[in-house]
Chains A and B, each alone.
Chain A
Amino acid sequence: MDISEKMDDLKTKLKEMVVHDLKLSELKPADIDDDAPLFEEGLGLDSLDAVELVVLIQKHFNVQIKDMEEGKKAFASINALAQYISDQLRSSGHELT
């Protein structure tokens, strides 16, 4: 699997995680636009969902989002979140699987 396929796979996993673990029953993973903002006018997630998302990312990918600046960057969209996780894994010596 090349890097772009791995990224596509990661985005799919993230969308499934958002829909299933945040219990967004009215949404399907495929409905989420890769570039849509996750919060407010995008998917409509709120600050309480952010708490759960931070915990889920730590649990599933062992990546910690530590502060507002990182959060802003990571939660801009599914694309941004996938890129953030991939960068964090790479900088800690891990590879996307």
Chain B
Amino acid sequence: MVEGLKKRLEACGHAFFYTMLFCFGQTGAYLFLWPVIGSYILGSRRIHHLIMPYLNRRFPGQGWWQSRVAAFKIVHSFGKVLVDRAWLGLKQSAALTGVFVGEEKVCEVLNQGRGVVLLTAHVGNWQSALAHISRLPVKVYSLMQYEQEAVAKHYFDLGNETCPFHIIRSDGFLGGMVECTAALQRGEVVTIMGDRYAGGPHVTVDFLGSPVRLPVGAYSLAAATGAAVVVLFAAKTGKTGYELRVWDLFTIHHGDRDEKQAEMGRAAKRFVSCLERYLEQYPYQWYNFFDFWKQ
């Protein structure tokens, strides 16, 4: 009953924003985000429970109002990302313009015939990031969970775009690792979200001052196949602008099984350090709406 009502309210919300977009364009929909998100932030306790674990670590010592304002900024920036997605789907002429800082470094590795593990995270507009990588000279695969797959397909269906990557489902046999290995052996690209742990092999590293569990599949793939790990994050930089940036590029070698875990830990630390630097620059583009440190 409650679930049904929630779904209907959600559908009404989507219909409302699509109407706003249709009538008033992207700017109009952005304006409507203010009262909607403002009342949500003031009226919902749940959203604070979901965002506070991050805010407490990113902005320690913030007061009640400051944390509300910060929560607003995060949800508002996420709302803009959702509006952009819908706007791209509704208007044929709509387009985001992005720069890919470090693209030449990725191409250099690919030109050597080596595969690339593109390690990204739930920050900025990651779908834009995936759309941009269609420019790379080889096939691109994305390791995704079922729900992410549905979202990504929906995003590209809306924009009448051909999906620029091939999806490998992480809920398949051995977590999709066989397909990922084969793609990297062929010198292709596999994108993986490095920040979401959903069970299986992991390491624990400090992130924003507290330990967090992170998956190690990406590092293991790179170590076994000789592929390079490229840490790549997207950020929304303006109304229609975004930036894709290579934050780090490294190779992983491990001799034996005992060394493996330590090497994975070192690689995860490099990833986390990139994420911390990203959040220094874009503190309100963090879209992990759950207690990240309890994953």
Q: Which A residues are within 8 Å of any B CB, using their own CB?
A: 22-23, 25, 39, 46-48, 50-52, 54-55, 58, 64-68, 70-72, 75
Contacts and interface: CB of A to CB of B under 8 A. Distances in A.
B181 A55 contact: yes
Contacts of A68: 172-174, 176, 178-179
Contact of A46 (B172, B201, B256): B201
B124 to A, nearest CB: 28
8 contacts: A47-B217, A48-B201, A48-B220, A54-B177, A55-B224, A67-B182, A68-B172, A68-B173
B216 interface: yes
Contacts of A25: 257
A65 B179 CA distance: 8
A47 B174 contact: yes
Interface in B96-139: none
Contact of A50 (B177, B216, B256): B177
B142 interface: no
A65 B257 contact: no
A51 B185 contact: no
Q: Specify the main secondary structure of chain A where it touches its partner.
A: helix
Contacts, number: 67
A66 B179 contact: yes
Contacts of B177: 47-48, 50-51, 54
Contacts of A72: 173
A65 B234 CA distance: 33
Given A46-B201, A47-B201, A66 B174 contact: no
A64 B173 contact: no
B221 interface: yes
Contacts of B179: 66-68
Contacts of A48: 177, 201, 216-217, 220
A5 B200 CA distance: 38
Given A23-B256, A47-B201, A64 B176 contact: no
Nearest to A23: B257
Nearest to A48: B220
A55 B7 CA distance: 46
B257 A50 contact: no
A46 B216 CA distance: 12
A71 B174 contact: yes
Interface string B148-180: 000000000000000000000000111111111
B175 A55 contact: no
Nearest to B222: A51
Given A51-B177, A51-B220, A58 B185 contact: yes
A70 B201 contact: no
A2 to B, nearest CB: 32
B77 interface: no
Most chain A beta-carbon contacts within 10 A, residue among B174, B200, B220: B174
Contacts of A50: 174, 177-178, 181
Point out which of B177, B179, B221 has the most chain A C-beta atoms below 10 A from its C-beta: B177
A67 B183 CA distance: 9
Given A51-B180, A64-B182, A68-B176, 20 more contacts: A22-B257, A39-B174, A47-B200, A47-B217, A48-B177, A48-B216, A50-B174, A50-B178, A51-B181, A51-B221, A54-B178, A55-B181, A55-B185, A58-B185, A64-B185, A65-B182, A66-B179, A67-B178, A68-B173, A70-B178
